[in-house]
């Protein structure tokens, strides 16, 4: 939807006519842009989702950053550093996209640090061996892509556009994880066992990344009506399982689910029950690393205060210099005009 269309059409109208313009735009698969009228619940729901997404990107840097200094080769180290930096960038795009809805980064970070907003629970699991870097890339980034590709068509323009670039980078993350695991899987028996162990530990938490089953998902139905979300949690989870099975075979690794098998009738893989008690416990803050992740985040924020202050005073200095030279050139041209008139 163009800002002009929405504003012009709804300018003389009531809330009901604004709503009608919004509904029509969503129904026609047009994009809602920052200056368009939107229902308050749509705005707050988007801010909540984008903030949680942004928080997950920056907290997600921690488990892997842990391995940068211990990467087994220069090549692996360079790849991992690039990946972790990408995640910082993803956080940046998403906080900026949330800002277009009138909520600043400071406010969102404050909510993260005080526990009023969440990040993806997957990052509350520890990275015990080098193979975890591979399992995270393959499974966690893989699940993220499955979730995020449909968000490129999300009804809110700035979010959708941020997702296009994020998804391109996530594909690289998934690929590097797969390639890392393949090298380990085809290595010594110990390396193979290490890869298998990492997959065993990350498989079920990755399936939980799609959120609770559809009938227990609080925001799903409304998000789908607004076309923020395009597919249900269970649909996306199934899509991920179907893709992962073939890839696990390619890796020569098994997925830790004895009930996993092809169902000819459904045209999908059946899989075993997910331990939702574990999911809710981690979400409540009782996962293995919840405390560590948020403490580290708060510390990084405090230690970075001087950088934010320096950047702000640099920006103010340049702003002052710019307005001073603008007013100087204005008074010079007024002077020159005055002389010419005289």
Applying CB under 5 A, among 36, 132, 141, 257 the residue interacting with Fe ion is 141
Q: Looking at beta carbons only, is 87 or 257 nearer to Fe ion?
A: 87
Q: Looking at beta carbons only, is 10 or 65 nearer to Fe ion?
A: 65
173 binds Fe ion per the rule CB under 5 A: yes
Stretch that binds Fe ion, among 136-144, 251-259, 279-287, 291-299 (CB under 5 A): 136-144
Q: Looking at beta carbons only, is 57 or 132 nearer to Fe ion?
A: 57
DSSP state of 32: B
**Smallest separation, CB 336 to Fe ion (Å):** 55
Phi and psi angles of residue 15, each rounded to the nearest 5 degrees, phi first: -55, -35
The sign of the torsion formed by the CA atoms of 148, 64, 121, 305 equals negative
**Whole-angstrom Cα Rg for the chain:** 24
The label of the residue with tokens 């020159």 reads 336
Q: Distances in Å between the alpha carbon of 319 and those of 46, 307, 333?
A: 32, 18, 21
**Smallest separation, CB 337 to Fe ion (Å):** 55
Report the Cα 189 to chain-centroid distance in Å. Answer: 36
Count of residues binding Fe ion (CB under 5 A)?
6
Contact 36, 22 (CB under 8 A): yes
Q: Looking at beta carbons only, is 38 or 145 nearer to Fe ion?
A: 145
**Smallest separation, CB 286 to Fe ion (Å):** 25
Site for Fe ion in 8-37 (CB under 5 A): none
Q: Looking at beta carbons only, is 141 or 257 nearer to Fe ion?
A: 141
**Smallest separation, CB 71 to Fe ion (Å):** 17
The sign of the torsion formed by the CA atoms of 120, 125, 126, 128 equals negative
Q: Distances in Å between the alpha carbon of 292 and those of 54, 59, 125, 238?
A: 19, 11, 10, 32
Applying CB under 5 A, among 87, 146, 178, 253 the residue interacting with Fe ion is 87
> In whole angstroms, what is the distance from residue 237 CA to residue 25 CA?
29
Stretch that binds Fe ion, among 53-61, 103-111, 313-321, 324-332 (CB under 5 A): 53-61
Q: Looking at beta carbons only, is 132 or 141 nearer to Fe ion?
A: 141
**Positions in the binding site for Fe ion (CB under 5 A):** 57, 87, 90, 141, 170, 173
């Amino acid at each position: 939807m163009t800002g002009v269309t929405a504003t012009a059409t709804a300018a003389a109208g009531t809330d009901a006519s604004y709503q009608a313009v919004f509904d029509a735009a969503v129904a026609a698969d047009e994009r809602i842009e920052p200056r368009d009228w939107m229902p308050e619940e749509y705005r707050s729901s988007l801010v909540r989702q984008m903030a949680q997404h942004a928080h997950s990107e920056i907290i997600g840097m921690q488990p892997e950053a842990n391995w940068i200094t211990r990467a087994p080769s220069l090549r692996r180290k360079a790849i991992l550093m690039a990946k972790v930096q990408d995640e910082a960038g993803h956080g940046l795009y998403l906080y900026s996209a949330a800002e277009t809805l009138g909520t600043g980064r400071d406010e969102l970070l404050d909510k993260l640090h005080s526990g009023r907003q969440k990040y993806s629970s997957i990052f509350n699991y520890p990275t015990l061996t080098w193979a975890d870097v591979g399992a995270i890339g393959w499974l966690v980034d893989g699940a993220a892509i499955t979730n995020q590709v449909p968000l490129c068509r999300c009804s809110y323009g700035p979010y959708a556009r941020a997702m296009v670039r994020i998804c391109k980078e996530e594909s690289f993350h998934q690929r590097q994880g797969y390639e890392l695991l393949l090298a380990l899987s085809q290595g010594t028996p110990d390396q193979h066992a290490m890869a298998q162990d990492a997959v065993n530990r990350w498989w079920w938490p990755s399936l939980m990344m799609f959120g609770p089953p559809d009938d227990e998902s609080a925001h799903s139905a409304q998000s789908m009506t607004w076309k923020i979300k395009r597919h249900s949690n269970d649909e996306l989870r199934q899509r991920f399982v179907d893709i992962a099975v073939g890839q696990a075979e390619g890796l020569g690794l098994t997925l830790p689910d004895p009930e996993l098998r092809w169902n000819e009738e459904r045209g999908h893989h059946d899989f075993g029950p997910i331990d939702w008690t574990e999911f809710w416990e981690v979400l409540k803050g009782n996962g293995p690393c919840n405390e560590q992740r948020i403490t580290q985040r708060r510390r990084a924020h405090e230690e970075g205060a001087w950088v934010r202050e320096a950047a702000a005073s640099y920006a103010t200095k340049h702003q002052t210099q710019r307005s001073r030279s603008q007013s100087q050139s204005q008074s010079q041209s007024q002077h020159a005009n005055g002389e010419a008139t005289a």
